[in-house]
A = this chain, B = another copy of it.
Amino acid sequence: MNTDPHIDDFAESNNPVVRKFNDYLDAHGLRRTTERYAILNRIMGINGHFTIEELQQMIDSDGFHVSRSTVYNTVELLMNAKMLRRHVFEGMQAQYECITLPHTHLICTNCGKVKEVRDTNFAAFMNARRFNAFNADHYSLYVYGICSTCARKLKRSKHAAKDEKKKNI
């Protein structure tokens, strides 16, 4: 029996996410390590997107240190377990998010903020959609544009520029 309380806590957890991970590890003959659970534990508390860098820093501030290689290793494991997904939006570094219900990503090309929106109409459309002999597994819809906050700011700075011009006449 394992002497590390953390591992046993997770091993016996009824949390479906933890169980899914345990099942994946078991099914593939992989070990239940403290590091893997520390990472999973942190990820479960994140709502939204995060980078590798951010994830490692969050784990650090949880008072637990894992090496960069282990973060990459575990993140890859979680992707193979279909629990995590990697997104690379235009002009940004890779971001990860837990796999939950399908949703659309709205990406602001001005500030880089990413917002998720659930869209049942679109989900229904995609579920019904067939691509001939291509066997679809999952999809990502990225919508690029300007968020309302940036739209306001840009409008304001445009006005400011106009005022500036007036002054110079």
User: A141 near B: Cβ within 8 Å?
Assistant: yes
Report the bound CA distance from A125 to B122 in whole Å.
8
**Partner pick for A135 among B117, B134, B138, B146, CB 8 A cutoff:** B146
With contacts A86-B90, A139-B142, A142-B139 known, is A147 near B134, CB below 8 A?
yes
Q: Check: A27 CB closer than 8 A to any chain B CB.
A: no
Q: Within residues 107 to 121 of chain A, which ones have a CB less than 8 A from any CB in chain B?
A: 108-109, 115, 117, 119, 121
A88 at the interface (CB under 8 A from B): yes
Contact string against B for A residues 144-168, beta-carbon threshold 8 Å, 1 for contact and 0 otherwise:
1111100100000000000000000
This chain: copies in complex = 2
Q: Quick one: which of B88, B131, B132, B145 contacts A134, CB cutoff 8 A? A: B145
B148 touches A133 (CB 8 A): yes
In the complex, which of the residues B115, B117, B133, B140 contacts A142, with contact meaning CB atoms closer than 8 Å? B140
**Given A117-B131, A141-B142, list of 14 further CB < 8 A pairs?**
A106-B131, A106-B136, A119-B129, A122-B125, A125-B125, A133-B148, A134-B146, A134-B148, A135-B145, A135-B148, A135-B151, A136-B144, A137-B146, A140-B141
In the A-B complex, the 6 residue pairs with the smallest Cβ-Cβ separation, listed nearest first, are A133-B148, A88-B88, A136-B145, A137-B145, A139-B143, A135-B146
